[in-house]
Structure 1
């Protein structure tokens, strides 16, 4: 699977928001789209998954014009974890996950098995009957990733998947996305705000500013002090800082529940 953008421009209410964007995500790659608030990252992502139409340029998914595909075929190729979560109604987790099977002919038994496997894969085994609205922020994000998994696509798009999560759940989500890309060969594009996390988890970065992609490539080549100063208006300095890594799952459980036995 390959996502390929060439000269993509987007206008909203007659105003240019994205200008001539070129971007590439290959099989198995985890690529981040970074930049300051309001630079056009989410607008570009929404255009890729057809919530918006490009004013110019071409978006190809696996060689085909993404906006020329029938909706059902498009949904079989591209899964989305957007900022907007399902309405806080009385959906169960299983019902939310099975929304990912909408592009396919229903098969109750097989779909239930897919749902169970996906929930187990994201660390929510046995949660299908829980009410989605009662989940924590991290659990909701994992449930939405499970919904993307049952969609059985090869392209995964995520819009700020770590937004509003604490450090532990941010790392859990990013590790999960990284592992899924490696194991399943997913091409993954995510809008991220944290430059350190983007550098740690992603194969390549694209940096946007004022609607334009200014640079793209491996994090070490792209995130230079000069570019950071130009785009963010801050100076990058090297000082001692906290670098977070995951604990083992059992250790993390014990810290979250002091009464748990080790």
Structure 2
């Protein structure tokens, strides 16, 4: 991340602003302006392009408004949240990269301007208990692009939850056809798809987390048993196709966790994490 890239920082087209001072490097953390059009950048590496730069910098239509900068800042937070959502985005060794990362759309028949990357958690050590596969599609074309690969057939891919809830209405139109193994992404858009574990397994992981909290002395036995019962009921109702009752059980789970925090029987940070996990399950059930 380069300073100010989340604020549409412009430097007024300065190609090398290291010695340009605050006049060109200014960052406006009030999100009102991005320092566009404050003058021709210093000669150095820019003078040969002054003829191109001058009319652009003088064009008020190219200056973003505060709303544009605020939107960019929000979307940047989306991408940071996506990166934080899985260790698969933070592989630490060359071996992990070689075993897990595959670039598709390669060779002489590749579609121009399209990068398709998969990151697998189905090999070696399980790094991400919630996701088996991540698919990243970067479409640099002006128009939407579709890419088909046999490796994607029958995968249960969905748009990453952060993007599904994003302020970016364009990325939400990205889609996946499991039968054909085809991803479709709008022009000038990056989309991330994930293959999530079954929601019942996600519930089991939450139960395991609570059991560890009990073993670590962070939760009383009676509280652990009661919360575990709610999750077991949630799972049972899901398996019987009674999603509305499962949702009710999870809502009761959340209320009970909040009460434990209020009664000082559960650390507030731990309680918030449990509620966040339960809400993630709720979102999946509601969107099925």
TM-score normalised by length of structure 1: 0.24
Which structure: greater helix fraction? 2
Which is higher, the Rg of structure 1 or of structure 2? 2
